[in-house]
Amino acid sequence: MIILGIETSCDETAAAIVRDDRSILSNLVNSQLDEHRPYGGVVPEIAARSHLDHIDGLVDRALRDANMEFDDLDGVAATGGPGLIGGVLVGMMTAKAIALVHTLPLMAVNHLEGHALTARLTDAVEFPYLLLLVSGGHCQLLSVTGPGAYVRYGTTLDDAVGEAFDKTAKLLGLPYPGGPAVEQAARSGNPNRFDFPRPMRGRPGCDFSFSGLKTAVARTFRAATQDENVVADAAASFQTAAGEALVDRTRNAIERFRAENPNGDTLVVAGGVAANAHLRTVLGNLATDEEFRFVAPPPALCTDNAAMIAWAGIERLRLGLTDTLDFAPRPRWPLNELRVAS
């Protein structure tokens, strides 16, 4: 089974060809960072126009890189949401046209499910597993028992952790994109200089909160001595606090997951923030302490990409979960609203 994947939910246009033996035959991403950097964030109209300019060429290149033609495909998968609706429309309309012209099954993939199932592409993880999904717009702990089968243990009550990274970068005067900039600055910083709060630590449950941490960074940084190390120290102190908050909430989730899934022993971290090396380390240490297997996909497959969309398409096609050409793209699309095989 060979699937073309298309991803256009935010500011990266991507196309990939993936085979059901977990081979990634091509995986192309066109970044829009330079187009959005002057604005300090993603401008939806600019993103949609850029997707429109690049999607056809990327699909063509993906096929050529895989040495294939449309007739070699068994289906086409595209992000159907959640995301910026203009971009999602571009990707879905492209996929619908390909499916119609070449008589291929269409899979409208939930972007979050793409992240959620990536570990099965990269590491052949078996169901069930515990998932920490961390990105710019999402921060959730979920039990994963199959495609479309998710139980949410906790979510953020305010900011997602990726959003907190981006806002902290802006407060510290670091460049866009903020998450990688904070991680880079933190490498030379003292993580113990500033005693930032660890939101929700010690409380029952698995929910997150990061707005208080972001506010503490702003207040403390403005009052701090502005020496040559202050930015790096603030970045390192923030990153450490965020990591400890994630570990605390995930530890509670492991306890619940273990009780509900006696045969499950894997912690997966996925999403754009999962590319952060410090967070991967502290979460890996937690998994070791709890005698869980720890899986984090390669950083390039944590950030938005089309290989994960193609793989999610494979998982859904196997179960007969295809979509009709009248599928309506969804800017909001919770995982608990996905269709599951009967």
Domains of the chain: 2-116+301-337 (3.30.420.40), 127-297 (3.30.420.40)
- Residues of the chain short of pLDDT 50, as ranges, are none
Cβ atoms of 6 and 78 within 8 Å: the answer is yes
pLDDT value, residue 112: 96
Rounded CA-CA distance 88/104 in Å is 20
Structure tokens at 16: 């990939």
Q: Is residue 145 within 8 Å of residue 162, measured between CB atoms?
A: no
pLDDT at 137: 86
Q: What is the β-pairing status of strands 266-270 and 2-7?
A: unpaired
Question: What was the pLDDT predicted at 342?
Answer: 67
